[in-house]
C-alpha cells in the first residue's frame, strides 16, 4: 500500500469518543448514549468478539451483594491487598455500585448464579469476604452487551467503527479534543474530533514474553498491547503504580488461568508436589504470587491445582465451566497431553508480567468519576488505576466515565480544527514502516523487546538490571524506526510495538524510582528487599513533562474513610504532590537515559455447500423474526441452529416463540441450540411462554431445561415439578429437586432422597438443609446411605438441621475410612454446639487429611464465645496446611476483637 496523503485524512466527529469496545468501553458508550450524547465507539478488533470478555467470564470476582458482604469490608480488603497504597474513594465506587451493575447486566440478559430461592449464590473463594458470584452462562456476556448496543435506540446514538485503531489522543491547550487513528483494513488515516474522550483499551498484556515464547500466547487478551497507557502518557496524563506489575498463576504451558477460584468452591485447591497447601495470604495479592513463585522454585515444587480427588460428577460440572468459558481450548489442551482431571492434577506456573489495574494496581491515574489529570480525558477498566477492579469494576468505571463525560457536553464547544502538528506526528508514527518494507518485521522486533522485558524488568528487580533495561529500550527506538510493513494489518502491529516499548520504559523507570520492595512479587527489589513506609507510603505517579522527559511525583495516600488496623498511619492529611527524581542509571553517565525519546519515532474457503446460506444468514443486520423465518425452517439443521443463534443474539420482537418452538425440532443439535438460547435469555424471557408445553419432550435435555427455566422464571407448577421428580432421566430429576427447593416442598424431597441416582440423593440432602423445615429424619436415614458421597452430604447437612441426638452418628463418622465422610462429619458437628462438639473437633484437628482439619477449624470458628473452641483453634495456628493455619488465625483474631 502507499502512504496516504495527510490531505486525504478522513474526519469523524462526535460528542463522546470511546476508544476500545471491550468491557468498560461498551458500558461507557451505553451510558453516554442513554444520557443523550452522540457517541463514536472505536474498536481495533470487532466489538462483538473483542476484549477480555470475548470468550466469556465464569464469574464476578468482586461482587459486593447486599446481605452477603459489606462495601466497607471490601474496601478494607483491597486496602490490605495493596499494602495501603490506594485511593479508597475509587474502590468504594466499585463496592457500592457493583450490585446495581449486576442488576443492569441482568436486564441485558446476563445470568448470575442464584440459589433455589432466587438469591444470588455468592461464593467464598478467599479466606475473607464472599465476593465471587458465578455466571453459569458467562460465555455469552459479550453477546448480551452487543445485543444491547445494536438495539435501535442505541444504534441511533452510538456509531460503532470496528477495525479502527487510534494511536494518539489529540489535545488542544491541554484538553482532550479527539484522536488520530488508522483504519486497519483500508489503511486510511482518520482524525476524530470529540468533546470528551474515554480510554478503555484494557491492560498492557503484551509486556513480558510468555514462557511458551508465543507473542500472542499471553494471559491477557493479546490485542491489548498497552495502547491506552501510551496514549494517556503522550497526552500528558499521569499514570500511577506502574512498578506494581500484574503476575498471575496459570496453567503451565497453556496461556489460560488455572481458575483456582472456580475450582475452589467445588473442592479444588493449590498444592505443592508433596500435596500440601502452601498459600498463606488471605486475598489475591502480590504477596500470594510471591508465595506461589517461591514454592515453584523450592524443593517442594512444582505446584498443582488439585482436583483429582473430586467425585466424577463434580469434575463433569467443573469441565462444563472450565472447558467452555474464558478459554474454550482448555479441554483440548489437556486431552492432547493425555491428561484428565480424574487422574491428573493440573500443573501450574506464573504468567509473564503485564500492566493491569484489574488484577493488580498499575494504571492511568483517575478519580472516583474516572477523570484523568487531562481535562476531557477519562480512563476506565483495566487501564485505570483502581486496584483489583476486575470485570465488574470495569463496567462500573465505564458507566461513571460515560455519565460524567455526557454531563459536561453542554458547556463545551465542538472542536473545529484539530492540531495539525499532532496529526502529522501520528501519521508518521503509523506509516513510517511503509517506507522500508523490507526492514525487520514486527514479530522479530517485538520478540526481542519483550525478551529484554523478561531479562531485565521482571522481578526480582535490581537497579543494575533496570538500568540496562532503560538503556536497551532507549536503543531499541532505532529498531522500531527501522521496522518494515506492507499492509494495514502490519502497520497496526508495528504501532503496537511502539506502545509496548513505551510501557516497558515506564515499567523500568518506575521500578527504579521506587527504592523499596512492596506488593510481594509485583515490586520485589532484590537489592532493596525491605518495605520503606517512611519514604514510600506514597503513590508513585509519572507523566510526560513539557520538555518531553518522563518525570515522577509522589502523591500522598488520601485519608482513609474505612479504617484498616495496621495501615491507618499510612495516609497523610497533606495531599500535596512531591516531585521525586529517578535515580541515576547504574553503569552509565548520570541521566543519560532519562530523556524520553519515543516522540522521535517519527515516524475462506467454504467448507461445504451449506456455508453460503449460513453466510447470508450471518450477514443479516439485526434481522426480525419474519426475515429469519425461512432460515428457521431450512431443511438443513445447521442452518436452523445458526438461525437460532442469530435470533438469540439479536432478540427481535417475538424472539421467544421460535426459540421455544425449536425445542420440538427433529434434530438434537437444533434442540440443543434452542436450549442454549433460552438459557442465555432466561432473564429477559417474557413471563408467559409455552415452555411448559415441552415438559414432556422425548429429549431429556429439553425436559431438564424446561424445569430449570420454569423454576428461574417462577412460573412452574408444583405438579409439573413433582412429575419431573420421577422422570426417567436423572438430569431432569436433579433440576426437579432444585425446583422443589424453591417451593419449600420438603415432603417431595423426602422421596428424592430415595432416588437410585446418587447425584439426585446428594441434591436432595443439600436441598433439605437449604429449606430448613423438617427433613432431619430423612437426612439421618441418608447418613447410612450405601454411597459414601451421599453419606458425606447428609452429615454436612445435619449441621443445619440436626441436633444433639445426632452426636453419636457424627462422632462415629469422624473415624470413617473415607475422608469425604470425615469432612462431612466435621462440618455437621456444627449442629451440636461447642460444649459437645469442641472435643471431637479438637481430635479432628489431628486428622491426616488437611480438608478434615480445615472443616474442623471452620466449624470451631462459628463459636467465638466458647473457651473450648478457642483452645482448640490455638493448636491449629501452627498446622502444616496453610488454609488450616490461616482460618484458625483469623478466627482467633476475630474472637480477640
Ligand atoms: C483470562 C482472564 C480471566 C478473567 N476472569 C475474570 C473473572 O472470572 N471474573 C472477573 O470479574 N474478572 C475476570 N477477568 C478480568 C476482567 O475480564 C477484566 O478486568 C475486564 O474485562 C477488563 O475490561 P476492559 O474494558 O478494561 O478491557 P477489555 O474488555 O479487554 O477491552 C479492551 C478493548 O480495547 C480494544 N483496544 C485495545 N487497544 C485499542 C486501540 N488502540 N484502539 C481501539 N481499540 C483498542 C481491545 O481490542 C478490547 O476490545 C479476567 C481477565 C482475563 C484476561
Residues 383, 388, 389: CA angle, nearest 5 degrees: 60
Q: How far is CA 330 from CA 254, 257, 306, 326, 327, in A?
A: 8, 10, 16, 9, 6
Are 736 and 727 in contact by the 8 Å Cβ rule? The answer is yes
For residue 265, give the DSSP letter: G
User: Which parts of 35-70 fold into alpha helices (H)?
Assistant: none
Residue 421's Cβ-count burial label (10 Å; 0-12, 13-18, 19+) is: exposed
In a domain, 597, yes or no: no
Q: Which three cell numbers stand for residue 90?
A: 475509587
Residues 212, 217, 220: CA angle, nearest 5 degrees: 130
Instruction: Count H helices and E strands in the chain, helices first.
Output: 34, 18
- Residue 863 Cα, ligand 1 centroid: separation in angstroms? 42
Residues 876, 877, 878, 880: is their CA dihedral positive or negative? positive
- Residue 42 Cα, ligand 1 centroid: separation in angstroms? 15
* Peptide linkage before 302 cis (omega within 30 of 0): yes
Residue 817's Cβ-count burial label (10 Å; 0-12, 13-18, 19+) is: exposed
The torsion of the CA quartet 176, 180, 183, 189, rounded to 10 degrees, works out to 150
With a cut of 50, which residues of the chain have pLDDT below it? Answer: 589-607
Are 386 and 86 in contact by the 8 Å Cβ rule? The answer is no
The torsion of the CA quartet 93, 95, 97, 100, rounded to 10 degrees, works out to 170
Domain region containing 285: 249-350
Atom of ligand 1 nearest to the CA of 394: 23
Q: Whose CA is nearest to atom 51 of ligand 1?
A: 52
For residue 300, give the DSSP letter: T
- Residue 351 Cα, ligand 1 centroid: separation in angstroms? 16
Beta bridge partners of 251: 348
Atom of ligand 1 nearest to the CA of 205: 53
**What pLDDT, on a 0 to 100 scale, did the predictor assign at position 599?**
45
For residue 384, give the DSSP letter: B
Are 51 and 142 in contact by the 8 Å Cβ rule? The answer is yes
**What pLDDT, on a 0 to 100 scale, did the predictor assign at position 604?**
38
- Alpha carbon 289 to its chain centroid, in Å, reads 17
**What pLDDT, on a 0 to 100 scale, did the predictor assign at position 847?**
95
Are 177 and 418 in contact by the 8 Å Cβ rule? The answer is yes
Nearest C-alpha neighbor of 189 from the set 440, 502, 425: 425
CA–CA gap between residue 323 and residue 251 (Å, rounded)? 13
Nearest C-alpha neighbor of 216 from the set 447, 525, 548, 550: 447
The string of DSSP letters for 665-729 reads: -SSHHHHHHHHHHHHHTGGGS-SS-SGGGGTT-S-HHHHHHHHHHHHHHT---HHHHHHHTT-SS
Nearest C-alpha neighbor of 101 from the set 60, 56, 142: 60
The torsion of the CA quartet 479, 485, 489, 492, rounded to 10 degrees, works out to 30
In a domain, 422, yes or no: no
- Residue 55 Cα, ligand 1 centroid: separation in angstroms? 11
Residue whose cell numbers read 420440538: 664
Q: Which three cell numbers stand for residue 312?
A: 466424577
- Alpha carbon 330 to its chain centroid, in Å, reads 17
- Residue 605 Cα, ligand 1 centroid: separation in angstroms? 31
In a domain, 498, yes or no: no
Number of domains the chain contains: 1
**For 870, what's the count of Cα atoms within 13 Å in the CB-facing half-sphere?**
9
CA–CA gap between residue 653 and residue 651 (Å, rounded)? 7
Q: Which three cell numbers stand for residue 161?
A: 467503527
**What pLDDT, on a 0 to 100 scale, did the predictor assign at position 879?**
94
For residue 544, give the DSSP letter: E
Query: Mutate which of 136, 160, 358 to test ligand 1's pocket (most atoms within 8 Å of Cβ)?
Result: 358
Q: How far is CA 335 from CA 253, 338, 339, 368, 727, in A?
A: 14, 5, 6, 46, 34
Residue 607's Cβ-count burial label (10 Å; 0-12, 13-18, 19+) is: exposed
Name every protein residue with a CB atom under 6 angstroms from any ligand 1 atom: 19-25, 42-45, 50-53, 57-61, 165-166, 200-202, 220-221, 223-224, 227, 257, 326, 358, 381-383, 390-392, 394
CA–CA gap between residue 390 and residue 338 (Å, rounded)? 33
Query: Mutate which of 59, 185, 202 to test ligand 1's pocket (most atoms within 8 Å of Cβ)?
Result: 202
In a domain, 254, yes or no: yes
Residues 665, 668, 674, 678: is their CA dihedral positive or negative? positive
In a domain, 235, yes or no: no
Q: Where are the beta strands (DSSP E) in 57-188?
A: 59-60, 133-134, 158-162, 164-172, 175-183
Helix, strand, or coil (residue 223):
coil
Q: pTM to 2 decimals? A: 0.82
For residue 254, give the DSSP letter: S
CA–CA gap between residue 111 and residue 325 (Å, rounded)? 14
**H/E segment holding residue 320:** helix 312-322
- Residue 262 Cα, ligand 1 centroid: separation in angstroms? 19
CB atoms within 10 A of CB 34: 17
Nearest C-alpha neighbor of 577 from the set 365, 357, 360: 365
Q: Which three cell numbers stand for residue 638?
A: 445447521
CB atoms within 10 A of CB 338: 8
Residue 680's Cβ-count burial label (10 Å; 0-12, 13-18, 19+) is: buried
Helix, strand, or coil (residue 87):
coil
Q: What is the 3-state secondary structure (H, E, C) of 813-858?
A: HCCCCCHHHHHHHHHHHHHCCHHHHHHHHHHHCCCCCHHHHHHHHH
Q: What is the pLDDT of residues 651-699, one digit of tens each?
A: 999 999 999 999 999 999 999 999 999 988 888 888 667 899 999 999 9
The string of DSSP letters for 391-457 reads: HHHHHHHHHHHHHHHHHTGGGSPPP-S--HHHHHHHHHHHHGGGGSTTSPPHHHHHHHHHHHIIIII
CA–CA gap between residue 27 and residue 380 (Å, rounded)? 10
Nearest C-alpha neighbor of 464 from the set 476, 477, 455: 455
- Residue 216 Cα, ligand 1 centroid: separation in angstroms? 15
Largest Cα–Cα separation, the chain: 88
- Residue 23 Cα, ligand 1 centroid: separation in angstroms? 6
Query: Mutate which of 19, 24, 40, 51 to test ligand 1's pocket (most atoms within 8 Å of Cβ)?
Result: 51
CATH of the domain at 327: 3.90.700.10
- Residue 624 Cα, ligand 1 centroid: separation in angstroms? 31
Q: How far is CA 728 from CA 666, 684, 703, 782, in A?
A: 21, 30, 11, 22
Q: Which three cell numbers stand for residue 387?
A: 486496584
Q: How far is CA 141 from CA 454, 528, 584, in A?
A: 34, 44, 48
**What pLDDT, on a 0 to 100 scale, did the predictor assign at position 416?**
93
CA–CA gap between residue 216 and residue 728 (Å, rounded)? 48
In a domain, 541, yes or no: no
In a domain, 717, yes or no: no
For residue 557, give the DSSP letter: P
Atom of ligand 1 nearest to the CA of 21: 49
In a domain, 320, yes or no: yes
Residues 842, 845, 848: CA angle, nearest 5 degrees: 145
Helix, strand, or coil (residue 591):
coil
Nearest C-alpha neighbor of 181 from the set 201, 202, 163: 163
Amino acid at each position: 500500500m502507499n502512504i496516504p496523503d495527510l490531505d486525504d485524512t478522513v474526519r469523524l466527529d462526535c460528542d463522546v469518543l470511546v476508544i476500545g469496545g471491550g468491557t468498560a468501553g461498551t458500558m461507557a458508550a451505553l451510558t453516554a448514549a442513554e444520557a443523550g450524547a452522540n457517541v463514536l465507539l472505536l474498536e481495533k478488533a470487532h466489538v462483538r468478539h473483542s476484549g477480555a470478555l470475548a470468550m466469556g467470564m465464569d464469574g464476578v470476582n468482586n461482587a459486593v451483594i447486599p446481605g452477603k458482604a459489606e462495601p466497607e469490608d471490601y474496601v478494607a480488603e483491597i486496602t490490605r491487598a495493596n499494602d495501603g497504597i490506594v485511593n479508597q474513594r475509587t474502590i468504594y465506587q466499585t463496592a457500592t455500585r457493583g450490585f446495581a451493575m449486576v442488576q443492569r447486566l441482568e436486564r441485558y440478559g446476563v445470568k448470575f448464579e442464584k440459589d433455589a430461592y432466587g438469591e444470588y449464590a455468592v461464593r467464598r473463594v478467599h479466606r475473607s469476604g464472599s465476593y465471587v458470584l458465578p455466571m453459569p452462562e458467562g460465555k455469552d456476556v459479550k453477546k448480551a452487551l452487543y445485543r444491547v448496543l445494536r438495539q435501535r435506540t442505541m444504534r441511533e446514538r452510538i456509531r460503532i467503527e470496528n477495525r479502527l485503531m487510534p494511536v494518539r489522543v489529540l489535545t488542544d491547550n491541554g484538553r482532550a479534543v479527539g484522536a488520530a487513528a488508522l483504519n486497519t483494513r483500508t489503511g486510511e488515516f482518520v482524525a476524530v474530533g470529540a468533546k470528551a474522550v474515554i480510554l478503555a483499551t484494557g491492560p498492557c498484556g503484551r509486556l513480558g514474553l510468555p514462557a511458551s515464547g508465543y507473542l500472542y500466547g499471553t494471559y491477557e487478551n493479546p490485542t491489548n498491547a498497552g495502547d491506552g497507557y501510551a496514549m494517556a502518557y503522550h497526552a500528558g496524563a499521569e499514570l500511577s503504580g506502574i512498578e506494581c506489575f500484574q503476575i498471575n498463576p496459570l496453567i503451565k504451558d497453556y496461556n489460560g488461568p488455572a481458575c483456582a477460584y472456580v475450582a475452589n468452591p467445588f473442592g479444588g485447591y493449590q498444592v505443592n508436589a508433596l500435596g500440601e497447601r502452601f498459600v498463606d495470604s488471605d486475598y489475591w495479592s502480590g504477596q500470594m504470587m510471591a508465595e506461589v513463585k517461591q514454592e515453584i522454585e523450592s524443593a517442594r515444587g512444582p505446584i498443582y491445582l488439585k482436583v483429582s480427588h473430586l467425585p466424577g460428577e463434580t469434575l463433569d460440572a467443573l469441565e462444563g465451566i472450565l472447558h467452555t468459558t474464558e478459554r474454550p481450548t482448555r479441554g483440548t489442551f489437556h486431552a492432547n497431553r493425555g491428561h484428565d482431571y480424574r487422574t491428573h492434577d493440573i500443573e501450574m506456573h506464573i504468567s509473564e508480567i503485564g500492566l493491569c489495574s484489574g488484577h493488580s494496581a498499575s494504571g492511568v491515574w483517575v478519580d472516583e468519576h474516572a477523570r484523568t489529570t487531562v481535562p476531557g480525558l477519562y480512563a476506565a477498566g483495566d487501564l485505570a488505576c483502581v486496584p483489583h477492579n476486575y470485570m465488574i469494576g470495569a463496567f462500573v468505571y465505564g458507566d461513571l466515565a460515560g455519565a460524567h463525560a455526557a454531563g459536561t457536553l453542554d458547556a463545551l464547544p465542538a472542536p473545529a480544527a484539530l492540531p495539525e502538528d499532532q496529526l502529522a506526528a501520528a501519521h508518521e508514527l503509523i506509516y513510517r514502516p511503509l517506507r522500508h518494507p523490507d526492514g525487520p518485521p514486527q514479530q522479530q522486533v517485538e520478540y526481542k523487546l519483550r525478551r529484554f522485558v523478561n531479562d531485565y524488568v521482571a522481578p526480582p528487580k535490581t537497579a543494575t538490571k533496570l538500568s540496562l533495561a532503560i538503556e536497551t529500550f532507549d536503543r531499541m527506538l532505532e529498531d522500531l524506526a527501522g521496522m518494515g510493513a506492507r499492509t494495514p494489518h502490519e502497520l497496526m502491529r508495528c504501532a503496537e510495538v511502539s506502545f509496548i516499548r513505551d510501557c516497558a520504559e515506564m515499567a523500568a523507570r518506575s521500578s527504579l524510582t521506587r527504592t523499596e520492595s512492596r506488593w510481594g512479587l509485583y515490586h520485589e527489589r532484590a537489592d532493596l528487599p525491605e518495605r520503606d513506609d517512611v519514604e514510600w507510603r506514597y503513590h508513585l505517579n509519572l507523566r510526560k513533562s513539557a520538555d518531553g522527559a518522563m518525570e515522577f511525583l509522589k502523591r500522598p495516600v488520601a485519608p482513609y474513610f474505612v479504617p484498616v488496623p495496621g495501615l491507618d498511619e499510612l495516609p497523610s492529611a497533606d495531599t500535596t504532590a512531591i516531585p521525586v527524581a529517578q535515580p541515576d542509571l547504574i553503569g552509565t553517565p548520570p541521566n543519560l537515559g532519562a530523556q524520553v525519546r519515543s516522540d522521535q519515532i517519527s515516524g475462506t474457503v467454504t467448507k461445504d455447500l451449506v456455508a453460503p446460506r449460513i453466510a447470508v444468514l450471518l450477514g443479516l443486520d439485526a434481522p426480525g423474526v419474519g426475515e429469519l423465518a425461512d432460515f428457521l425452517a431450512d431443511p438443513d439443521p445447521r442452518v436452523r441452529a445458526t438461525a437460532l443463534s442469530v435470533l438469540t443474539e439479536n432478540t427481535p420482537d417475538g424472539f421467544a416463540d421460535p426459540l421455544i418452538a425449536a425445542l420440538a425440532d427433529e434434530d438434537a443439535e437444533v434442540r440443543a441450540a434452542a436450549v442454549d438460547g433460552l438459557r442465555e435469555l432466561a432473564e429477559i424471557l417474557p413471563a408467559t411462554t409455552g415452555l411448559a408445553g415441552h415438559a414432556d419432550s422425548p429429549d431429556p435435555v429439553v425436559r431438564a431445561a424446561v424445569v430449570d427455566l420454569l423454576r428461574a422464571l417462577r412460573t412452574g407448577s408444583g405438579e409439573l415439578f413433582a412429575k419431573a421428580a420421577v422422570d426417567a432421566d436423572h438430569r431432569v430429576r436433579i433440576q426437579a429437586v432444585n425446583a422443589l427447593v424453591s417451593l419449600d416442598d420438603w415432603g417431595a424431597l423426602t422421596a428424592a432422597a430415595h432416588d437410585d441416582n446418587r447425584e439426585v440423593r446428594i441434591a436432595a440432602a443439600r436441598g433439605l438443609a437449604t429449606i430448613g423445615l423438617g427433613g432431619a429424619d430423612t437426612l439421618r436415614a441418608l447418613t447410612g446411605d450405601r454411597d459414601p458421597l451421599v453419606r458425606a452430604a447428609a452429615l454436612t447437612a445435619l449441621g443445619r438441621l440436626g441436633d444433639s441426638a445426632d452426636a453419636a452418628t457424627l462422632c462415629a463418622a469422624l473415624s470413617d475410612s473415607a475422608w469425604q465422610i470425615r469432612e462431612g462429619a466435621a462440618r455437621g458437628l456444627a449442629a451440636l454446639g461447642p460444649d459437645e462438639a469442641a472435643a471431637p473437633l479438637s481430635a479432628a484437628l489431628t486428622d491426616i487429611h488437611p480438608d478434615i482439619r480445615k472443616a474442623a477449624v471452620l466449624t470451631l470458628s462459628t463459636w467465638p464465645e466458647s473457651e473450648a473452641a478457642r483452645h482448640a483453634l490455638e493448636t491449629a495456628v501452627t498446622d502444616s496446611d496453610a488454609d488450616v493455619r490461616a482460618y484458625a488465625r483469623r478466627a482467633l483474631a476475630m474472637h480477640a476483637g
